[in-house]
Copies of this chain bind each other. A is one copy, B any other.
Amino acid sequence: MGQAVSDWAASAGEALREGGYRRGGARRAVVELLADQHCCLTAQEIHDRLRATRRGVGIASVYRVLEQLVQLELVQRVEIGDGMTRYEPVHPDGVHHHHHVVCDDCGKVEAFSDDALERAIDSTAGRLGYEARHEVVLHGACADCRS
């Protein structure tokens, strides 16, 4: 995982530089935090973690940086239906590509991946004439909540 993490931080840094962005403190802090994540975080969670571990970053800057990263396709939005948008790094070449299962009782979010599902989605997207990124969200009750 260390490899992919630093890969992402490196690509992100390069893309930002090429985009003409400066390496301000807030942007760097958000990128570094995201590089350590493998699953999605809300803007508020990012804000809280940054306040806890290093110089705090204003929530407005968190949103601004996330928006820029989404535009550069370095980060993708994930919506699981609880009114808050989550964000997670997108690794090049689909590495670490995954989807999410949400427990509608306790709100827990887990990641999963499945090759057969990916193939089915690719073939469907092709049929529709979209070469597209995609998002699958499963909703149900997790093992803990069913017991």
Please list the residues of chain A having a beta carbon within 8 angstroms of any beta carbon in chain B: 77, 79-81, 83, 85, 101, 112, 114, 116-117, 119-121, 123-125, 127-143
Copies of the polypeptide in the assembly: 2
Task: Determine if A134 and B138 form an interchain contact, defined as CB atoms under 8 angstroms apart.
Answer: yes
A138 to B99 Cα, complex, angstroms: 13
Task: Determine if A142 and B130 form an interchain contact, defined as CB atoms under 8 angstroms apart.
Answer: yes
User: Which of chain B's residues has its CB closest to A134's CB?
Assistant: B138
A134: chain B residues within 8 A (beta carbon): 136-139
User: Nearest Cβ distance between residue A77 and chain B, in whole angstroms?
Assistant: 5
A79: chain B residues within 8 A (beta carbon): 79-81, 137
A80 to B132 Cα, complex, angstroms: 14
